């Protein structure tokens, strides 16, 4: 959003000091596209720090005491509409990932992501795009899949993925970059971004599934 | 039961929720009778002398101080063993005894003077109270020892003597009281003595029951907590610590370090979030003997990761039971990952599997050097035999996309049995 003027201002939220230090060092050393302007180790610190620093992007750990990333989102987002949130976690549990996305995060990446990819992801969310790791793409596909016992469709606009969105998600899950997806599907990168943003919106707003139910459904295909 | 729950459980195990901070505890050391005055003093943060004096003075009002002391003795638990208060001086101890004598003296004296009870009753009650105090004190000593030796604890013969003499005093006291108060009507006397004995027993055992319940609960909590801790510690020791040690030794070999770290990560994940993992509340244990498709893919990817020191990123959408064809499919995919690991010269391979109603698809993709399928020498059988052959035997299909410098993608499609049958 503000990336044209100066570096993207990033705020780190993670309860592991060691991890924060590592991310900070990596981000500071490999690029001047992003700048770490603050960090926090607890939900309370994070909410206060985000309100004070007004960063462009918050890198948000999913798992923290006192409610974790979702709680930070709930408390900090209404007062900082300009700030976007990118979840960064070691968790592989689908419910956790989907939960932070539904709480308002613009994307999700795993902690094993390379520094360069992380920078790209930060810049991309700061520009208003969504960032889907292959795993998140897989979860979302799974969540919207038609299967016996799935919740009924009440709003087709929100509760169904278009075939194109499904294609894009599949390629994302297969590890394709946006550019590769674009050339594979003969569409522009911009269109890929539009599809991904639309999927993100549906994931956040759809009433298609209750999370708990979806989780227990997972094994019953 | 997901990570969030685990973290909650863990924090529960570490911090006692609002426990000791606010609760009053009787002192274990530096006490004159039962540590009640000391406990109250600690709780209110005043000098113990004032508390004792208050109790003693209130004893004058129809024995209210004595009664209050007794109630607190019963209902306030003892301090934990490891909580040490400062040693008391000899002077303070004498002071305490003096105040104790004063309290009892006042209770009896004022009581006698004001004729609320006359001498012989006071005598009977007094003797009873001393007996009760003796036994209860012994119970304090034996608190937190085994339930089987509740009364005697491990105090040995001394404890036995104290308890027996306490009981004897109680009986004597009650008898004394009765003999004087009842006009020797035999029937009534017999009834009353039975009643009195029962009351005596009940009074004597009240603190034991209370403490038994309290201590058992506390002990069980403590035991569960420490077992939990021991299990986690043992697991971390056997897995994570060992791996960290290995990683330190192998610090010069990045690939080896990566392999160790990935292997350990996978194992820990399995332990935490796996179907029968630590984080699950024991559901679906029966699923453990029959792997599903997703588990089988995960396992195969893990094996290749371990063997070839590469990272296999796998995403599986949907899941189903594993049948013969799907087993073949997973084997073929495994072989494709192995090929990528061997020939593509990359450190990461992506595996994407999707279970659809009609078919199961697996994509194995690397961004490595790729190759020209037409130029593969005829004596290389990996792709031809173990992948294509296996797929076709099971009714599946293989598509290959690759070119030199473009990476490789192996696409495996397998129709599901329910449809073709």
Element (DSSP H or E) covering residue B349: strand B348-355
Determine the pLDDT at residue B421.
Answer: 41
Closest CA to B319 of A142, A148, A74, A28: A142
Q: What is the pLDDT along chain B (421 residues), one digit of tens a residue?
A: 444 444 444 444 444 444 445 677 777 776 777 778 888 888 888 888 888 888 888 877 767 777 788 888 877 877 766 555 556 677 777 777 787 877 777 777 776 666 655 555 556 666 777 777 777 777 666 654 544 444 444 456 667 777 777 777 777 777 776 666 555 566 566 677 778 888 888 777 777 788 888 888 888 888 888 888 887 877 777 778 878 888 888 888 887 888 888 888 888 877 777 655 555 544 444 444 567 888 888 888 888 888 787 888 888 888 888 888 888 888 888 888 888 888 888 888 889 998 888 889 999 988 888 887 777 665 666 666 678 888 888 888 888 888 888 888 889 999 987 644 4
**Fold exhibited by the domain B290-420:** Heat Shock Protein 90 (3.30.565)
Q: Give the gap in angstroms from C-alpha B76 to the nearest C-alpha of chain A.
A: 33
Q: DSSP letter for B287, please.
A: G
Cα-based distances in Å from A8 to A56, A177, B76: 6, 22, 60
Determine the pLDDT at residue A86.
Answer: 92
Residues 6+ apart with CB under 8 A from A63: A15, A69, A89, A90, A91, A96, B3, B4, B7
CB spacing of B350 vs A134 below 8 angstroms: yes
Neighboring chain B residues of A112 at a CB cutoff of 8 Å: 311
User: Are B331 and B340 within 8 A, CB to CB?
Assistant: no
Q: Could you tell me which chain B residue has the CA closest to the CA of A138?
A: B317
Determine the pLDDT at residue B122.
Answer: 58
User: Are B65 and B103 within 8 A, CB to CB?
Assistant: yes
Residue A110 corresponds to which tokens in the numbers above? 């795993």
CB spacing of A93 vs B355 below 8 angstroms: no
Q: What is the spatial distance between Cα B251 and Cα B263, in angstroms, rounded to a whole number?
A: 16
| CA angle (B184, B189, B190) in 5-degree steps | 140
Determine the pLDDT at residue B25.
Answer: 78
Q: Give the gap in angstroms from C-alpha B351 to the nearest C-alpha of chain A.
A: 7
CB spacing of A134 vs B365 below 8 angstroms: no
Say if pTM beats, i.e. exceeds, 0.80. no
A8-128 CATH, one of 1.20.1260.10, 3.40.50.11540, 3.40.50.300, 3.40.50.2300: 3.40.50.2300
Residue B411 corresponds to which tokens in the numbers above? 């696409």
**Fold exhibited by the domain A137-220:** Arc Repressor Mutant, subunit A (1.10.10)
CB spacing of A134 vs B315 below 8 angstroms: yes
Q: DSSP letter for B292, please.
A: B
Provide the CB-side half-sphere exposure for B419 (13 A, CA): 10
Facing A92 at nearest CB: one of B4, B269, B284: B269
Q: ipTM score here?
A: 0.76
- Best mutation target among A93, A111, A139, A143 (most B Cβ atoms within 10 Å) is A93
Query: Could you tell me the residue ranges of all domains in chain A?
Result: 8-128, 137-220
Determine the pLDDT at residue A212.
Answer: 41
Closest CA to A129 of A162, A89, A170, A172: A172
Q: What is the mean pLDDT of residues A149-172?
A: 77
Q: Could you tell me which chain A residue has the CA closest to the CA of B4?
A: A63
CB spacing of A65 vs B7 below 8 angstroms: yes
Facing B317 at nearest CB: one of A92, A96, A141: A141
Using a CB–CB cut-off of 8 Å, the residues of B that contact A are 2-4, 7, 11, 269, 273, 284, 287, 292, 311, 313, 315-320, 350, 352, 354-355, 363, 365, 409
CB spacing of B11 vs A135 below 8 angstroms: no
Neighboring chain B residues of A137 at a CB cutoff of 8 Å: 315
Determine the pLDDT at residue A92.
Answer: 65
Element (DSSP H or E) covering residue A202: helix A189-205
Query: Could you tell me the residue ranges of all domains in chain B?
Result: 16-227, 290-420
pLDDT band at A208 (very low <50, low <70, confident <90, very high): low
Cα-based distances in Å from A165 to A201, A202, B66, B363: 12, 11, 80, 19
């Amino acid at each position: 959003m503000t990336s044209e003027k100066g570096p993207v201002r990033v705020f780190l939220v993670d309860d592991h000091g060691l991890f924060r230090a590592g991310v900070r060092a990596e981000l500071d050393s490999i690029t001047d596209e992003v700048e770490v302007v603050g960090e926090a180790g607890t939900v309370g610190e994070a909410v206060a720090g985000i309100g004070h620093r007004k960063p462009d992007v918050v890198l948000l750990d999913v798992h923290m005491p006192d409610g974790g990333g979702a709680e930070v989102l709930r408390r900090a987002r209404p007062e900082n509409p300009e700030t976007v949130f990118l979840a960064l976690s070691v968790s592989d549990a689908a419910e956790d990932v989907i939960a932070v996305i539904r709480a308002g995060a613009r994307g999700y990446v795993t902690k094993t992501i390379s520094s360069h990819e992380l920078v790209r992801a930060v810049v991309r969310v700061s520009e208003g795009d969504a960032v889907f790791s292959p795993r998140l793409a897989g979860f979302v596909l799974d969540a919207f899949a038609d299967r016996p016992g799935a919740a009924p469709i009440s709003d087709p606009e929100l509760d169904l993925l278009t075939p194109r969105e499904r294609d894009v998600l599949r390629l994302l899950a297969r590890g394709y970059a946006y550019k590769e997806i674009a050339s594979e599907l003969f569409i522009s990168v911009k269109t890929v971004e539009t599809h991904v943003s639309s999927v993100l919106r549906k994931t956040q707003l759809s009433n298609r599934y209750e999370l708990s139910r979806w989780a227990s459904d997972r094994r019953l295909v | 039961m997901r990570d969030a729950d685990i973290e909650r459980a863990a924090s529960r195990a570490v911090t006692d929720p609002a426990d000791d901070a606010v609760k009053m505890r009787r002192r274990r050391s530096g006490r004159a009778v039962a540590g009640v005055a000391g406990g109250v003093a600690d709780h209110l943060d005043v000098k113990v002398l004032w508390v004792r004096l208050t109790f003693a003075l209130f004893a004058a009002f129809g024995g209210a101080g004595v009664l209050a002391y007794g109630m607190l003795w019963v209902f306030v638990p003892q301090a934990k063993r490891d909580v040490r208060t400062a040693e008391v001086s000899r002077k303070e101890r004498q002071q305490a005894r003096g105040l104790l004598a004063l309290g009892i003296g006042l209770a009896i004296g004022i009581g006698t003077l004001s004729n609320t009870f006359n001498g012989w009753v006071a005598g009977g009650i007094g003797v009873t109270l001393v007996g009760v105090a003796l036994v209860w004190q012994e119970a304090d000593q034996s608190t937190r020892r085994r339930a089987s030796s509740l009364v005697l604890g491990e105090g040995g013969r001394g404890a036995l003597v104290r308890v027996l003499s306490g009981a004897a005093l109680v009986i004597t006291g009650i008898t004394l009281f009765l003999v004087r108060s009842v006009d020797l009507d035999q029937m009534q006397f017999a009834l009353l003595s039975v009643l009195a004995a029962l009351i005596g027993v009940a009074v004597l055992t009240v603190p034991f029951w209370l403490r038994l319940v309290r201590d058992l609960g506390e002990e069980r909590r403590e035991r569960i907590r420490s077992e939990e801790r021991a299990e986690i510690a043992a697991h971390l020791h056997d897995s994570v610590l060992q791996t960290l040690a290995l990683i330190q030794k192998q610090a010069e070999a990045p690939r080896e370090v990566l392999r160790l770290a990935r292997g350990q990560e996978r194992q820990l994940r399995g332990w935490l979030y796996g179907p029968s993992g630590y984080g699950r509340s024991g559901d679906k244990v029966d699923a453990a003997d029959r792997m599903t498709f997703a588990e089988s893919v995960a396992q195969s990817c893990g094996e290749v990761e371990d063997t070839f020191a590469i990272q296999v990123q796998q995403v599986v959408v949907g899941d189903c039971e594993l049948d013969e064809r799907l087993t073949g499919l997973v084997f073929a995919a495994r072989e494709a990952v192995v090929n990528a690991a061997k020939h593509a010269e990359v450190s990461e391979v992506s595996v994407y599997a999707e279970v659809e109603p009609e078919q199961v698809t697996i994509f194995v993709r690397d961004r490595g050097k790729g190759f020209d399928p037409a130029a593969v020498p005829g004596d290389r059988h990996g792709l031809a035999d173990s992948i294509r052959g296996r797929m076709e035997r099971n009714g599946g299909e293989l598509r290959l996309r690759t070119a030199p410098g473009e990476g490789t993608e192996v696409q495996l499609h397998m129709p599901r049995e329910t449809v073709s049958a």
